Amino acid sequence: MNELTNQFNNQGNNAATVVAASREMEEVKGQIFMAQNMPRNVFQSEQRIMDACKRLTLAETAVYSYPRGGQKVVGPSIRLAEVLAQNWGNISFGVKELERRDGESTAVAYAWDMETNTRTQKEFTVPHVRSTKKGIQKLTDERDIYELVANMGARRLRSCLLGIIPGDIVDKAVAQCNETVRSGGGDIPLKDRIGKMLAMFKESYGVTQEQIENRFGYGTSTFTEFDMVQARNIFNSIKDGLAKVEDYFDKSTKKDAPSKLKEELAAKEDVKADVEEGAVNEPEKTNEG
């Protein structure tokens, strides 16, 4: 009796799987049909992208930079890649979790230009663990696992999207975003934006103004629009998990600097004390005939 029940349940599950796969296939066919019968207007798509890159809120998160091998790597962020795909049109993209077992998830990031039938995808495995200061933490909460997979998938998705969208369009978008940030950000004074940037670094990562100034080599009072772009790129790189705080800022700065200063002051006080003591204890000279 149990064997018959299991067979019936298996047949039911298989039937449901077939129906779901058939429905998904029909949806894909419909998307391809619409894409090929309503092709994108390249000039209009490019103009929409350029207009989107003139928005300061997008431009501030559009580019990342991080150090690698003694050099600086710069490129478009996942936020910009998503805007490019949305305005380029006829592109299906996303991250799907394929399987979950033994404390890890198997997922795939993909981007598919349905008009030209060009597709890129990257399959990857995500262990359900998180590195913390106290060591490796195993994740069991559904929300934590979902956010971890989404975060790891965002990097692969960005790569897939940039493999679909023409490179010259991407370069123009990055240039426009940098220009938008350099232009001053509307009516907000540069001084206020610098203050906001310093507060964001302090609140999010504990990075002080002194550490930022040591990184750039000069004070924030002399920051220009270009420096703001660089600082924003660093912030985005850390936020997106492409780099760590230690890759940019020396954590010992705020700890070592005061101790060295104290040592120098103490040394000066010792010298001063020795001089004063020598002046007091020095025997008086007499003229003896």
**What confidence tens digit (pLDDT) does each residue in 186-211 have?**
677 888 889 999 999 999 999 999 99
- For residue 196, the enclosing domain spans 187-248
Residue whose token pair is 């998705």 = 157
Same domain, 223 and 171: no
Spatial separation of the C-alpha atoms in residues 275 and 248, rounded to whole Å: 44
Within a domain: 259: no
Same domain, 169 and 110: yes
Query: How does DSSP assign 38-91, residue by residue?
Result: S---HHHHHHHHHHHTT-HHHHTTSEEEEEETTEEEEEE-HHHHHHHHHHH-SE
Within a domain: 28: no
Q: Name the band, by pLDDT with cuts 50, 70 and 90, for residue 98.
A: very high
Same domain, 163 and 206: no
Within a domain: 85: yes
Same domain, 220 and 192: yes
Q: b or e along 218-244 (b: 16 or more beta carbons within 10 Å of the residue's beta carbon)?
A: eebeebeeebbbbbbbbbbbbebebbe
Number of domains in the chain: 2
Same domain, 194 and 229: yes
Same domain, 163 and 47: yes
- The average pLDDT across 56-78 equals 79
Same domain, 55 and 108: yes
- The average pLDDT across 215-242 equals 84
Whether the full predicted model's pTM is greater than 0.75, yes or no, is: no
Same domain, 151 and 241: no
Residue 185 has pLDDT above 80, yes or no: no
Same domain, 90 and 120: yes
